[in-house]
Every structure is written in C-alpha cells, then in structure tokens.
Amino acid sequence: MIYVTNGNQVEPLNSVSNFEMEQEIKGNYSITFSSFKNNNPAYPILVEESVVTVNDFDFRVKQLKETRHGKQIIALSTFFDLVDKRQNEIYGGTHTFNEFMTFVLKDTGWTFTSDITGSRLIENFGENNVIAMINALCQTYKCEFVILSNNRVHFSNKIGGDYDAQYRYGHNVQALSKNVDTTKLKTYVEGYGATNESGGQLWVSYTSPNEEKFGKREADPIYDDRFSNADSLLEHMKSQLIDYPEVTFELDSIELLDKELGERVWLIYEPLDMEFQTRILSLTKQFVNGKLRTTKVVLGNTVPKSTNDILISQKVEIDENKKITRSKFEQTNDRITMEVEEIGESIGQLEIKSNEINLKVEQNTKSIGEVNIKADQINLSVNNRITNEVATINIRADQIQSTVTAQGTSINGLGNRLSNAESSITQNAYNISLKVSATDFTGANIVSKINLDPWSATIQASKINLVGAVRVLSDITGDLGSIYAGNIYGANINVSSDATIGNNLYLGTSGWGSKSVNFGGGNGIYYNGEQMTFSAPYLNFSGSNNTLNGYNTIYGTLNVPYSTNLSGVVRAESSGIGISYSGGYLYVKVNGSTMGSVKLT
C-alpha cells in the first residue's frame, strides 16, 4: 500500500504508474513514479516536501513535474532529511563506531544497529549536519549502511551476505549493459613499514599473478609505520592493490532477483579468462501484480576478488591488535583528553579543560602520579598503592604545602605499630609550619609541630630531645613545665651567667644519696644523706634571727652575729671542739665533754 502524508492529512495513493524503487550500496534510496487524478484521494496533497510511504519506508518528494494529466515524482528517503539536522557540539577523539553514531543520531528520531568493532581517532568531530558526519564515519571506518523501515539504519563493513553463489557471464546471467574499466589496474607495489631499533626500515614488495596477463604496472608505494611485521605489511598491500579490471553489469537474470543488496557473488568472466567475486551494487524494484519485486540488479567487483582477501583484512587487524601500546584522543567543546596505554602495564593521560589541566600516569595497580594545574593552584601527588604511602604538594601564589602519609607502618621494626602516619610542611611569606602526626592501633593520636613566623618559633611535642651543645642567647620565660637533662652519664646543663629560681631549688627527689652545691676552690655545701657540711675559709651569718638546727659541721672560722640561734651541736671537725647553745648559755665541749659555759644576755 502507498499513502501520502502532508501535515496532519493522510490519504491513499491509488493511481500510480512507472513506479521504481532503487537502492544502492552507497546508501542512496529513492522512488520515481507518475500519479494521476482519477480515483486518487492523495493526488491533491501530493506536493513538494510531502511524504510518500511505501511498505513502511518513507520518502520525501524532492522533485515534482506537474501537467494537466498528472504528476511525475522523484522522492528521496526521509533519512536524507537529516542533512538539515546539525549536531553543534564537538565529540572528537578516539571512540568506537557506536559511540560516534550515538552522538550523531542524538535527538533525530532515527535509530541504528551495527556490527563494526574497534576504535578510531577523529579530531574535531562534530559541528556539522548529520549526513555529512555519517559519510565521514563511513569513510573513516570503511563501512557501508543500508536504510531500513521505520526510521532505522544498519552499518556494516560489508552489507549483504556471502552465500557462495556462482554465475558464468553469457550463460546463467545476461547483461543489459556492461562496463569494464582497467584505469586503476596495477600489478606491482612496494610497502614501507616501521623503523626498527637499529634504524632500518621494513620494506616489502609484491607482484600480482595477473602480471602475466597485463604486464608490470607499478602502483604508488604504501607507507604505514603501524606495521613492524613483514607478513602483515604484505597482506595489507595485497588488500590495497587493484590488480583486476573493475567491471559492472546491469542484469535481468531471474536467478539474481532474490539477491540482497551488497551480497557477494562469484562471476566467471571468460572474455578476460578471470574468476572474481562481485557484489550486488544496486537493486531496482517495481510493482508486479500489486507486489514489489526486484526487476533489475547491478553487479560489480568493488571488493577483494577472492576469499583470501577477506581473510587478509582480518589478519591485518589481528596483527595490529598485537601492539603493546595504544593511544586515545577525545575532544568535546569543553575538554580534550589524550591517553597512551601500555596494555596491562601503565596508562599516561593528559586532560585539558578551559580552567584546568590534569596529567596522570598510572602503573597498573601499583602507583599513580598526578599533576593538577589551575590558574591559582598546582597540585602534585604520588600514591603507592602497595605500601599505602601518599605524597602530595599543593602550590598556591601565597602558600606551599607538602604532605606524606602512610598506613599500617612500624617504627624501627620494634613492633611499635601505627595505623597511620602523616607529615606535612606548609610555607607562606610569613609562616613555615612542620607537622608530624601518627595514630597507633590503640587510637592514641601523637603530634609534633614546629611553627616559625617573624615573631616567634614554637616547638610542640610530647618529648623534645636536645643532643649536643645547647645555647640560649636570650631569656627563657613563661610556663616551661618540666625540663629534664636526661639520665645519660655526663649530661649537664651549663649556665655561664645568672640563673634565677622563683621559689625552691630541689636536688633530687629522695632524701638519700650524696648531693652538693659547689662554689669552686673546694668550697661548697655537701650532703651525704645524714648530715650537712659547709666548707669555706669563713662562714658568716649576717642579719638577725639566724638559726642553725641539727647536727652541723663547720670548717674554718664561724662568725656569728647578734641574735643567732644555735641549736644542737656545732663542732669544729678538725679538733673535736664543739660549741652548743641551750637555755641562754653557750657551752664549750671537747670531744663531746662540756668544758664550760657562757651565759648570753
């Protein structure tokens, strides 16, 4: 059934003559016919740009010639309406065919199927009409398409089947017309591949068996550095060489009328004593007894001439896939991404946006190195996935910060295990900050910090170890907490000037053991756990209300001022003479015996 649609009006097209539907392997799909007024409801709406539907295929009227008797129509498949539909974005780079085509047919109302594999690089793809982009894709992927009913289209490297049909020219096929072209026929070609490590370039030559019939006809050399294997390059050269005449036949054999568009057919052409594979290049259908039937086909050898050539392209593709590296390029309106991958080993990636640049190198599951550049900030990081160590540097115009973190570490192999640890350095014009922190398996957080600014330097830690000579050139003030010299033999604190202690000075934490305060020259105060000894040429007590308690030993001269209380025994250690005071009397003793007394008033 044929009907016409114009706007919201749909009518059947009844009076039709000279109808032909032609479909070509290159994608062209059109109908031509004449229509008359008699008993024809669709005739008034059969105008330019109206749509004629035949067996669920839609065709838009593009050429119309009208006379007083009727209209002559040429209509193209509505697929070609897509020439007026644009995709105004960029989708360049390395993508699969299906990814490209999904972008191309977005929001068009058309769907597609495809059996095309592999990825290709197309730079700046987009910003064009849909038909132009489809043609560009077919050229890049070397593919064909066939328009299907209900706004569908199918893409394939070769549309149509291969059923090993064979025909002999002049016997079971008859030509309505014949065209033979030997313009592109060549029988010899040279190929140049990749350069090896020693600087030599791969070179291969090929001579076609058809040289015996046509002589030596040299083709332009083929240069392709993708090939590093001689056999692969040779097979590729064979697939590119046209060493046979290009022949087309327009046929009307009844045996060909059930063939598919693009189907491969073997043809024996005795005038040239050659057998080669041809294809159905176009089909023409007409209404016969009310049904569409194929009435004419065009047969041509625009594909490789033998099944070996079909295997050649497959072999070349397999060899190319053996490369250990592959690259990828993607481009959109707001982003460019470049990637090089060493299969199973590492990936290098560069991504460029309008406001930032990202650079990344990833070594399988082992480590990642990244650089992120923005107008006001640069970030660098290295992540070792095996050791769980991460190092980062953050650079701004006013600050530099570096950080190193680790998880599941141990210190000096002594079993002092940490769940995680981190160190960082932050620097700006007025401040430098260093920080080391760790969390052990008990959850305790340990932090040490050093902060420097023009006004102060601050060290914060649970323990501060100063090893070697420590000199302080200014006052030590503030809340100092506890200061330990350590328990290492010979550890001393030397102060060359004065030391001021606000309240008490404690020597040791226990009352036992020897302790002393030395003044140099053998003078000092000594304590052995039982008694205090004062050693000096003169021991003077000045002021009033001085008290000596306990058992005291004084070496040298004792000068006692007024109101000095002497309680206990004061003795001269060298002579055994002691002086004691009790009840207002001063007693003189020799070797412990009282020799006399003096009353003090």
Among 268, 286, 305, where does a domain finish? 305
Residue 283 maps to which CATH number?
Answer: 2.40.30
Whether residues 108 and 130 share a domain: the answer is yes
* CA distance linking residue 141 with residue 156, whole number of Å: 9
Whether residues 92 and 191 share a domain: the answer is no
Give the CA count within 13 Å in the CB-facing half-sphere of 390.
14
Whether residues 7 and 30 share a domain: the answer is yes
Whether residues 167 and 291 share a domain: the answer is yes
- List residues bridging with 374 in a β-sheet: 356, 377
Strand locations in 182-324 (E): 188-195, 201-207, 222-223, 246-251, 264-269, 274-288, 291-300
Q: Give the length of the chain.
A: 601
Whether residues 231 and 250 share a domain: the answer is no
302: which 2 tokens?
A: 């625009």
Residue 101 maps to which CATH number?
Answer: 3.55.50.40
594: which 2 tokens?
A: 């009282």
Among 305, 322, 354, where does a domain finish? 305
* CA distance linking residue 400 with residue 425, whole number of Å: 8
Whether residues 6 and 127 share a domain: the answer is no
Query: Does residue 144 form part of some domain?
Result: yes
> Could you say which residues of the chain have pLDDT below 70?
169-178, 247, 249-257, 269-274, 302-330, 332-333, 341-346, 364-365, 407-419, 441-442, 472-496, 508-512, 538-581, 586, 588-592, 595-601
Nearest to 360 by CA among 344, 373, 371: 371
Query: Does residue 322 form part of some domain?
Result: no
CA–CA distances in Å: residue 391 to residues 15, 134, 199, 380: 81, 48, 41, 8
pLDDT at 274: 65
293: which 2 tokens?
A: 């039937």
CA–CA distances in Å: residue 112 to residues 28, 98, 109: 17, 9, 10
Query: Does residue 387 form part of some domain?
Result: no
Per-residue pLDDT reduced to its tens digit, 54-85: 999 999 999 999 998 899 999 999 999 999 99
Structural domains in the chain (count): 5
Question: Is the Cβ–Cβ distance between 150 and 116 less than 8 Å?
Answer: no
Residues contacting residue 326 through CB under 8 Å, at least 6 positions apart: 340, 341, 343
Whether residues 151 and 28 share a domain: the answer is no
Burial of 313 (0-12, 13-18, 19+ CB in 10 A): middle
Whether residues 13 and 59 share a domain: the answer is yes
pLDDT at 413: 46
Query: Does residue 47 form part of some domain?
Result: yes
The secondary structure of 334-374 as a DSSP string is: SEEEEEEEETTTEEEEEEEESSEEEEEEEETTTEEEEEEEE
* CA distance linking residue 126 with residue 130, whole number of Å: 9
Whether residues 274 and 170 share a domain: the answer is yes
Largest CA distance in the chain: 170
Query: Does residue 432 form part of some domain?
Result: no
Query: Does residue 208 form part of some domain?
Result: yes
Q: What is the enclosing helix (H) or strand (E) of 236?
A: helix 230-240
pLDDT at 29: 93
Among 45, 63, 80, where does a domain finish? 80
- Please give the span between the terminal C-alpha atoms of the chain, in angstroms, as a whole number: 152
Whether residues 126 and 33 share a domain: the answer is no
* CA distance linking residue 513 with residue 178, whole number of Å: 126
Whether residues 537 and 572 share a domain: the answer is yes
Query: Does residue 492 form part of some domain?
Result: no
Q: Which domain holds residue 542?
A: 522-599
Residue whose tokens read 């597609």: 112
Whether residues 122 and 250 share a domain: the answer is no
Query: Does residue 334 form part of some domain?
Result: no
Question: Is the Cβ–Cβ distance between 189 and 218 less than 8 Å?
Answer: yes
